[in-house]
Amino acid sequence: MSKITAYIMINVEVGKTAHVFNMLQKLDFAELVSVTAGEFDIIVRVTVDSLEELFYKTEEIHGIDGVSRTLTLIVEKEAKRED
């Protein structure tokens, strides 16, 4: 079965970005964690085995102190540039 990739956009309470950034690195399903400026504070790229697993992993992220809101965007198709 193919894996499911998703981007989870996170909004963080003021002053807790560094803490959330560090906690996210400890999650084994997080591939890429970016602190950003703009609509969201942190963007995490995750890969999981099923939608059900994605639900539990998102719950895990909600459990991190400082996370105020998340938006999950599931990848349907992806293209990468090789040069």
Tokens of 82: 């090789």
Tokens of 26: 């400890």
Smallest distance from another protein to CB 11, Å:
12
CA torsion sign for 67, 70, 72, 78 is negative
Size of the site for another protein (CB under 8 A): 30
User: Taking CB under 8 A as the rule, does residue 10 contact another protein?
Assistant: no
Cα 32 from chain centroid (whole Å): 8
User: Taking CB under 8 A as the rule, does residue 71 contact another protein?
Assistant: yes
For residues 17 and 82, what is the distance between their CA atoms, to the nearest angstrom? 32
Considering only residues 4, 35, 48, 64, which one is a binding residue for another protein as defined by CB under 8 A? Answer: 35
Q: Which residues in this chain contact another protein in the complex, by CB under 8 A? A: 5, 7, 21, 24-25, 30-40, 43, 71-83
